[in-house]
């Protein structure tokens, strides 16, 4: 047993090193965000008569009023009508297509070059839908807006000129806003996690490879084609194409003062499903591209930066592995080596401090540091993600050891999450875990405190909120 204990503690140290690496990455990005000056984006200033043709793609799938709303918003964007094409790419059920088309036509002016396309199958999911739309247009610039986003009228005026001024840019990304950020504690936490005011901005300032966020950005079509186009072999087509373009020498740019509001999942079931899909997609991209990246002639720093960006999903698998190893050692009655104990405590404290500091910095940069519920939201932003350890670890293993591809679109406001999940796995583990974990007085108690708090929180939200969240959405909103 002594030899097994040594092996497990050695494995635990390797896991903790990886956890510390992710924490240090957050601290490094925060440092860059504070101390590195923002590159000055060049802006082309062509006359309206010289503006290029722009294609705006709106991929939707059974999204009803949201699809109508984004169509109406896109039609109001300020761009010469003879150089603007808008595609509503309907991947929804066939029996709702005619009604959607009629509702969209009712809110889109007749002089707008607006096309409603339906391909008849969902091969490749969103990536396949976007690729299908590109076949029907030769526009050199392509904007992508998901159904829950509402672009401002000047969206194209503030993004396309950046691409025109720098032919080396693959895409320009705006910053996501969150229209329902204050709906509940879960949306407040998501707002903190998805502000991108530190991560994306820091990567841009440091000249690191940048990922397209999947919506509210504009692409140079040449980059899409040279990068290999939209492919449906992963669930995060945005990260996949971005990394392939970065490997080709393309760059991305962030227009942080351009905010495009979208909707956040308002239930634990919807958030859990979304995060599992994103985690699985990141893992699929890592599985697909990591061998190519590390066998390429790119400089070491670029390989490392791309690897860290793609492998952020690893936190959940690492947390699960750490818990499994710790519980096994507890069951064995093994005594920790003092160095392992202190290293475990250091990794836990570093993770908590770097995460909270990173998120607080983002809010400070946005001028929200005095919001009344900020402190509680920051603490919950550490607790709630811990409740996704089970779902996201499973998603990671599926990505590496299964070819199954299920694209579960994020449940929108007013919808009910399909499937039978009601928080039972998280509640069971969250209740049973303390019986074993807190019986031991060691470094892992703090880690297990956050894990148990997160699992019970997410599980409880899943158990008590089976009904849809209602919100009125009007086409002109």
Q: Which of 90, 91, 146, 148 is catalytic?
A: 91
Neighbours of 111 (CB within 10 A): 9
Q: How far apart are CA 455 and CA 268, in angstroms?
A: 11
Considering only CA atoms, which of 250, 305, 274, 216 is closest in space to residue 406?
Answer: 274
* Residue 413, C-beta contacts closer than 8 angstroms, at least 6 positions apart: 180, 263, 266, 469, 470, 471, 473
Q: Which of 148, 195, 238, 240 is catalytic?
A: 238
Structure tokens at 385: 């993600």
Q: State how far the alpha carbon of 330 is from the alpha carbons of 325, 340, 435, 459, in Å.
A: 9, 14, 11, 25
Neighbours of 20 (CB within 10 A): 17
Structure tokens at 224: 């899409």
Q: How far apart are CA 375 and CA 360, in angstroms?
A: 9
Question: Is 154 noted as a catalytic residue in this protein?
Answer: no
Scanning the structure block, which residue is given the tokens 């072999």? Answer: 233
Question: Is 238 noted as a catalytic residue in this protein?
Answer: yes
Active site residues: 91, 238
């Amino acid at each position: 047993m002594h030899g097994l204990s040594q092996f497990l503690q050695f494995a635990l140290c390797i896991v903790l090193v990886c956890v510390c690496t992710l924490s240090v990455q957050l601290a490094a990005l925060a440092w860059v965000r504070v101390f590195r000056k923002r590159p000055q984006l060049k802006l082309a200033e062509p006359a309206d008569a010289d503006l290029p043709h722009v294609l705006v793609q709106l991929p939707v799938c059974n999204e009803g009023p949201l699809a109508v709303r984004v169509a109406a918003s896109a039609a109001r964007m300020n761009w010469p009508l003879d150089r603007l094409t808008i595609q509503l790419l309907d991947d929804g059920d066939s029996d709702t297509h005619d009604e959607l088309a009629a509702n969209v036509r009712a809110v889109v002016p007749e002089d707008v070059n607006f096309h409603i396309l339906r391909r008849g199958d969902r091969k490749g999911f969103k990536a396949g839908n976007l690729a299908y739309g590109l076949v029907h247009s030769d526009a050199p610039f392509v904007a992508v807006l998901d159904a829950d986003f509402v672009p401002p009228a000047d969206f194209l005026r503030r993004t396309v000129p950046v691409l025109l001024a720098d032919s080396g840019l693959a895409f320009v990304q705006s910053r996501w806003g969150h229209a329902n950020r204050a709906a509940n504690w879960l949306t407040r936490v998501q707002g903190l996690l998805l502000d991108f005011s530190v991560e994306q901005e820091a990567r841009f300032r440091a000249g690191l490879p940048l990922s397209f966020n999947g919506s509210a950005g504009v692409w140079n079509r040449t980059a899409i084609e040279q990068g290999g186009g939209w492919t449906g072999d992963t669930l995060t087509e945005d990260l996949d194409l971005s990394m392939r373009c970065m490997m080709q020498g393309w760059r991305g740019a962030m227009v942080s003062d351009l905010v495009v509001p979208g909707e956040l999942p308002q239930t634990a079931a919807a958030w859990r499903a979304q995060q599992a899909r994103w985690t699985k997609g990141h893992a699929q991209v890592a599985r697909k591209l990591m061998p190519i990246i590390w066998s390429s002639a790119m400089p070491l720093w670029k390989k490392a930066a791309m690897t860290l960006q793609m492998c952020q999903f690893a936190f959940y698998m690492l947390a699960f592995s750490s818990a499994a190893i710790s519980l096994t050692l507890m069951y064995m009655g093994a005594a920790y080596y003092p160095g392992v104990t202190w290293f475990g405590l250091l990794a836990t404290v570093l993770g908590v401090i770097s995460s909270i500091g990173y998120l607080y910095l983002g809010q400070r940069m946005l001028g929200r540091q005095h919001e009344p519920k900020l402190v509680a939201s920051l603490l919950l932003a550490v607790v709630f993600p811990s409740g996704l350890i089970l779902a996201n670890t499973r998603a990671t293993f599926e990505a590496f050891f299964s070819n199954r591809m299920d694209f579960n679109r994020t449940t929108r406001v007013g919808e009910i999450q399909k499937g039978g999940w009601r928080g039972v796995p998280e509640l069971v583990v969250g209740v049973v875990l303390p019986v074993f974990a807190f019986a031991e007085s060691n470094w892992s108690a703090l880690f297990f405190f956050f894990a148990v708090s997160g699992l019970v929180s997410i599980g409880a939200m899943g158990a008590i909120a089976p009904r849809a969240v209602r919100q009125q959405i009007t086409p002109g909103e």
